[in-house]
Chains A and B, each alone.
Chain A
Amino acid sequence: MASTFLEYASLFFEKTVFIYGLALLIIYAFLAILSFVNVRLFLRKESYTDYKIIIGSPLAPGISVIAPAFNEGLTIISNVRSLLTFNYPKYEVIIINDGSTDDTLEKVIREFSLVKIDFAYDPKLSTKPVRGIYKSTDDAYAKLIVVDKENGKAKADATNVGINVSAFPYFLCTDVDCILHEETLQKLIRPFMEEESKRVIATGATLRMANSCEIDKGVILKIKAPRPLLARFQEMEYIRAFVLGKMGWSYVNCVPNVSGGLGMFDKEIAIKAGGYDPASFGEDMELMMRMSRYVQDNKIKTAIRYIPVTLCWTEGPTSLKVFMRQRTRWGRGLMQLMIAHRKMLFNPKYGKVGMVVFPYNFFFELMAPIVEFLGVIYYILLIIFGMVNWPYAIILLVFVYTYSVMISSLAVLWDQLTFQYYKTWKDVVRIASMVFIEMLLYHPLIVIFALRGYYFHLANRKHTWGNMQRRGFKESSEVKPTAATT
């Protein structure tokens, strides 16, 4: 009976799964080509663009920067200062204190001379109650608004409050502990302003790990590849996902998601789509899906764009426990999203979203960990029953390994073609070396944690919103203690 089962399994894996794997690899190859074309196009445009023009222009559209904060007392002051340094003529920074139990609010009130004000706004998106809205009496912080609200147990709820309070037609969504480049707003607004026949509803840019960078008062002074192995793997993964993946998808207007860490959105469409869903575990992707659904339902020609410039640095988890929690949540969010929007799968009514974006995410993001896991089980069974053709098995393993190395190497190359963020060879080698061991050490973790997320969702396990347990960034003086004394 076991051998009959294995025969069926063998037929399934040798035919269906092989074709599935091959299709995935071909898609990656296409993405690599498309992203290369898109990156080159971007660089050619950048070579003659003078962003200074927008800085003094009365025609620049207003942007609201929305950053929720929960128990960020340790770093909140430098985080807010960092957000107030954008080179842009018309913007406001909205910090939402999501019912912090530490001294986040008190610190901000004290540091920025805030007073509670009578602030009228239209709660177009329903949220947990707002306790108070604060503005600074110091003109230097005129752009700052701090909203204090009851804890909504989700970033989505806090961001929705920010959207309600915001004054401008575009909003930038970020995490308060992210470090953003001073040119973030001018770079991200550009795609909204240069599309000819489509309405751009969202733009995003590359994120990187801030773990080993030199930082001073919330500003990146020197970019370095992360030293901790886990953060370095994540940096590699982000480069591949943003520079190769999203740039490729952006070229054919099929971007599946704009990261919650950094994304600029058309407020009108976001509100009409219902804003962020506080019940979602992948609220950023969920919003994109609903925005796409809304514009397709209303026959609005739209685009979602990505640029290959790193504008945001975030602290990646360095402990396995925190990393597991993050990826489990992502896996859970993906499954939740796929189930909630299953009607979009291969539905021509939703255009590219229904025919490309959703099927890709379903088959190659959601199903991939399941297929991989089953593949491993199948291999183990074959070994137990002595049915492995070792030369062929090794060839297939080498095939998968070399291909994944190639795709990641191309991502590193594309990244180097753009701005050469790493100034030293050592940093390049640090990242490039991850390419060769990622599949053996990091990838299995991703698969296991994603499956854990799927299981949690199917078993309806209660999710607790754990804190990220950030270690905080080392200020430049801490990184180089000798520099201060010499």
Chain B
Amino acid sequence: MWKDLADLLFQAYEQFSLLPLFIEIALAFIFIAILSTLIAYSAILYRRYKGYVYDKRLAFISPKIEDLITEQVLLNPNLGKDLPIEDIEFDQEALNDKIYRKPFVRQMMIDTLIQYRKNFRGEVGELLRKLYIDMGLEKDSFAKMKTLRWERKIKAVVELTQMDISISDVTILPLTNSGNPALRAAARNAYIQLSKNEPFKFFDIATEPLLPWDQLEMFKIITTTKDIAIPNFSRWVSYSTNKSIVSFCLKLIAHYDQQSAIPAVMDLLANKDHYYRADAINCLGKLSAEVAEEKLVKIYNNQPLNCQIEILKALGRIASGKQLEFLKSEFLYSSNFDIRMNAARSIIKHNTQNSRMMVEELMEMTHEENQLIIKHCLNPLIKY
């Protein structure tokens, strides 16, 4: 039989080799196309079936996990008795149920505990953490840290952070400078949350950029995590060679109103990078750094447009009243629309008797387009 089949295949090959090249290519492509199409639809079938099975398993397991957490943690009779969390015991029989040995269920358990931890702090939060440790789930998370797949590592870092399990500096610090932006961001966020003494240590060694998207999460973590030791961020403004770290620190300086950072921020006004300078000017404005006003006005004429606009905004935020004449002259004599608009906004932002008188005076003496700008800036319906 095998011989017949081999003969048949050989004959087919002989006939195939006699065909013109383009027909041979076409036949080969037909074979590939049919095979790929069949695989594609099989994959769709398999994926939808897998999704269906997953949903079924989820529907079966979820209530069990919820029940376990409710009974062992939320309704734990020892809660509220001022017992140390370490001394509160769980029902070992419930924890040792065979079902909790399956990887799928263990992962679901971790995910559910994380969700609960987000909603419960204090004693309940600590007990949820203890349940995570007692079930050996932190070992699962650490095992994920050792895989080569970066998304698994991220998952592990997030799980350990959410459960407040410390990760050694040797493990986490190299990841804060990883070439993979996603892993790097997760590790940096974890480091800030887990490191009790020096949460910003990685700022010193960071050579990879801190992307604007990652800054969003880090900013939120820094500004919302309790008991975090907030340093003087001017340290990195002065010494870091990582531009994105400096830029981020400027935002944090403004947020925490770190007045002591003003000299360091002012030093940046001499930086060659105009994006940098614009960030520094913005920061000085938000710090209401009156001491910087004169210098800002002095450098104004040598700056590119983005920095000039930031200077005008900063003068409006500082609003000392000393630079009203400067703002007025920019409003009246600049040919650039954005300059005039920002100068007008800054004059109005002063909101003093002098500034109000100046606005009235400008309305009378200036041309129609400038009057429109003032009306625009005065209109409370226009927010941006």
- A137 and B381 contact, CB distance less than 8 A: yes
Q: How large is the interface on A (under 10, 10 to 19, 20 to 34, 35 or more residues)?
A: 35 or more
Cβ-based interface call for B165 (8 A): no
A80-88, A340-348, A360-368, A402-410 - the one binding chain B: A402-410
* Residues of A close to B212: CB separation below 8 A: 59, 61, 192-194
Q: How far is the CA of A59 from the CA of B32 in the complex (A)?
A: 50
- A432 and B37 contact, CB distance less than 8 A: no
Restricting to A182-197, which residues have a CB under 8 Å from any CB of B? 190, 192-196
Closest 3 CB pairs of A and B: A122-B337, A402-B33, A167-B384
Q: How far is the CA of A61 from the CA of B215 in the complex (A)?
A: 12
- A395 and B26 contact, CB distance less than 8 A: yes
- B383 and A142 contact, CB distance less than 8 A: yes
Restricting to A413-443, which residues have a CB under 8 Å from any CB of B? 413, 416-417, 420, 425, 428, 432
Given contacts A57-B220, A117-B382, A409-B36, contact A428 B48 (CB under 8 A): yes
Q: How far is the CA of A203 from the CA of B64 in the complex (A)?
A: 43
Q: Which partner residue on chain B sits nearest A54 by CB separation?
A: B216
Interface centre among A92, A190, A194, A396 (most CB of B within 10 A): A194
Cβ-based interface call for B12 (8 A): no
- A135 and B26 contact, CB distance less than 8 A: no
Of the residues A22, A47, A118, A403, contact of B33 by C-beta under 8 Å: A403
- B251 and A59 contact, CB distance less than 8 A: yes
Q: How far is the CA of A195 from the CA of B213 in the complex (A)?
A: 9
Restricting to B127-158, which residues have a CB under 8 Å from any CB of A? 151, 154-155, 158
Report A94 CB to chain B, min CB distance, Å.
11
Restricting to B75-116, which residues have a CB under 8 Å from any CB of A? none
B65-73, B168-176, B194-202, B372-380 - the one binding chain A: B372-380
Cβ-based interface call for B186 (8 A): yes
Q: How far is the CA of A396 from the CA of B369 in the complex (A)?
A: 68
- A48 and B154 contact, CB distance less than 8 A: yes
- A59 and B219 contact, CB distance less than 8 A: yes
Given contacts A45-B182, A120-B373, A196-B181, contact A18 B22 (CB under 8 A): yes
Q: How far is the CA of A374 from the CA of B304 in the complex (A)?
A: 56
B39-47, B263-271, B295-303 - the one binding chain A: B39-47
- B40 and A406 contact, CB distance less than 8 A: yes
Flag B194-233 by CB within 8 Å of A: 1 or 0 each. 0000000000000001011111110110000000000000
Report A168 CB to chain B, min CB distance, Å.
7
Cβ-based interface call for B318 (8 A): no
Q: Which partner residue on chain A sits nearest B374 by CB separation?
A: A120
Q: How far is the CA of A192 from the CA of B212 in the complex (A)?
A: 9
Given contacts A54-B216, A405-B37, A416-B48, contact A118 B211 (CB under 8 A): no
Can you name 16 A-B pairs with beta carbons within 8 Å?
A: A14-B22, A25-B29, A48-B155, A57-B216, A92-B384, A117-B381, A118-B376, A118-B379, A120-B373, A142-B381, A392-B23, A399-B33, A402-B37, A403-B29, A413-B41, A413-B43
Report A187 CB to chain B, min CB distance, Å.
12
- A57 and B376 contact, CB distance less than 8 A: no
Given contacts A120-B369, A399-B29, A420-B51, contact A193 B211 (CB under 8 A): yes
Cβ-based interface call for B30 (8 A): yes
Cβ-based interface call for A412 (8 A): yes
- A135 and B33 contact, CB distance less than 8 A: no
Of the residues A50, A192, A395, contact of B27 by C-beta under 8 Å: A395
Cβ-based interface call for B237 (8 A): no
Interface centre among A193, A392, A396, A399 (most CB of B within 10 A): A399
The number of inter-chain residue pairs (CB within 8 angstroms) is 139
Q: Which partner residue on chain B sits nearest A415 by CB separation?
A: B44
* Besides A45-B151, A60-B216, A420-B51, 13 other A-B contacts (C-beta < 8 A): A48-B182, A48-B186, A56-B220, A59-B216, A118-B375, A122-B341, A142-B381, A396-B22, A396-B23, A399-B26, A406-B36, A412-B40, A416-B44
- A395 and B155 contact, CB distance less than 8 A: no
Q: Which partner residue on chain A sits nearest B28 by CB separation?
A: A399
Flag A121-150 by CB within 8 Å of B: 1 or 0 each. 010000000000001110000110000000
* Residues of B close to A117: CB separation below 8 A: 379, 381-382
- A168 and B384 contact, CB distance less than 8 A: yes
* Residues of B close to A61: CB separation below 8 A: 212
- B211 and A194 contact, CB distance less than 8 A: yes
Of the residues B25, B43, B47, B215, contact of A59 by C-beta under 8 Å: B215
Of the residues A47, A120, A395, A403, contact of B376 by C-beta under 8 Å: A120
Report A388 CB to chain B, min CB distance, Å.
14
Cβ-based interface call for B6 (8 A): no
Cβ-based interface call for B338 (8 A): yes
- A194 and B213 contact, CB distance less than 8 A: yes
Cβ-based interface call for A119 (8 A): yes
Of the residues A136, A190, A395, contact of B23 by C-beta under 8 Å: A395
* Residues of A close to B373: CB separation below 8 A: 120
Q: How far is the CA of A398 from the CA of B212 in the complex (A)?
A: 51
Q: Which partner residue on chain A sits nearest B158 by CB separation?
A: A48
Q: How far is the CA of A287 from the CA of B22 in the complex (A)?
A: 40
* Residues of B close to A403: CB separation below 8 A: 29-30, 33
- A120 and B375 contact, CB distance less than 8 A: yes
Cβ-based interface call for B34 (8 A): yes
* Residues of A close to B381: CB separation below 8 A: 115, 117, 135-137, 142
- B376 and A428 contact, CB distance less than 8 A: no
- B36 and A420 contact, CB distance less than 8 A: no
Report B217 CB to chain A, min CB distance, Å.
5
- B186 and A402 contact, CB distance less than 8 A: no
Cβ-based interface call for A53 (8 A): yes
- A413 and B22 contact, CB distance less than 8 A: no
Report A329 CB to chain B, min CB distance, Å.
33
Flag A349-386 by CB within 8 Å of B: 1 or 0 each. 00000000000000000000000000000000000000
